[in-house]
Amino acid sequence: MARPHIEFIQTQVLPWKTLGEDSSRPGALAKALSYDADSKAVSVIMKYPPGWSLPESHYLNSDEELYVLNGALWVGSVEYCKGDYAHLPAGMPRPSMNSPKGASVITFHEGEHRTILGDAPVGLYDPARLIAKIESEKMSWGQPSDPVVAAIANNAGRKLLREDPKTGERTWLLQFGPDNPKKMTHGRTETHPVVEEVFLLDGEISMPMGTLKPGAYFWRPANIEHGPVGTLKGLFGLFRCKGGPLTTVWSESETPIDWAPAHNPILPPQLQPLATAPYDTALPY
């Protein structure tokens, strides 16, 4: 069973879980965003309390992507601070992990993710797939890959963090400036042949099923028509596509943009009770 359609959930309403000794990060807190029961892949916000440590040499049995939301996390001798990104392949040697002052990190595990002490089996780790560290806050903004987005979005910019040379899957940061609702009254719908996954870091997004605020998350399966969308405050988000490169089929006609949409998210049964749960808007996630 693939991951269910989640569009969208404010992550502030999701519970934190303290991870036990049998987990990959004992003593850390985790907030699961989406989960694939078959592959055991998961998207999760990790919170490492000050002084957290995993001192033993180890490896993970699946790929891990990470993006630091705040604080600092050490993996061996590499320190990851706010805005830093990494893609750490399965089997990569990790002498230790620690967070002396604490950190919050959005993390993507691409399968079962057991912490295994010692050295990985020969051939598991492919160093060619390693992205050791990208300091995204030092990167320059480039143009969005879709020329339609580049043409219609206000002050659009993209920072490409990863593109898999075999699958075409990508991870990137995207920003838009605010739209003018008096001028931008209509928009086209879009469809992608792959999964689109988004965590909203700042700003907001108006969609037919509601307005996403900072901390909003969605996992949209392939081939689902969506939109039109707009943003009154601008947006800054972390994006991923799964299953291949993200391409877009745009509708021929335009439909009105709802700048004050009713809150009607698409959620699996276990998340539906949280659809209208109140949350502290001062919390980022």
Give per-residue pLDDT as tens, 101-127: 999 999 999 999 999 999 999 999 999
CA distance 247 to 250: 10
* CATH 2.60.120.10 domain residues, the chain: 6-135, 147-273
Asked if 178 contacts 234 with a C-beta cutoff of 8 angstroms, the reply is: yes
As a CATH number, domain 147-273 is 2.60.120.10
- Residue 151: its pLDDT value, please? 83
Name 248's Cβ contacts closer than 8 Å, sequence gap at least 6.
146, 148, 149, 190, 191, 192
User: What is the structure's pLDDT at 97?
Assistant: 98
Q: What pLDDT is stored for residue 3 in this prediction?
A: 92
Specify the CATH superfamily of domain 6-135.
Answer: Jelly Rolls (2.60.120.10)
Q: What is the pTM of this model?
A: 0.96
Residue 194 neighbours by CB under 8 Å, 6+ apart: 169, 222, 241, 242, 243, 244, 245, 246, 247
pLDDT in the model for residue 260: 96
Q: What sign does the CA torsion over 4, 5, 11, 14 have? A: negative
Q: Residue 237 above 70 pLDDT? A: yes
Tell me 151's DSSP state.
H
Whether residue 1 is predicted with pLDDT greater than 60 in this model: the reply is no
Phi/psi for 167 (5° steps) reads -95, -20
What confidence score (pLDDT) does residue 152 get? 84
Q: What is the model's pLDDT at position 148? A: 86
Confidence at residue 153, expressed as pLDDT on a 0 to 100 scale: 86
Mean pLDDT in residue range 167-185: 97
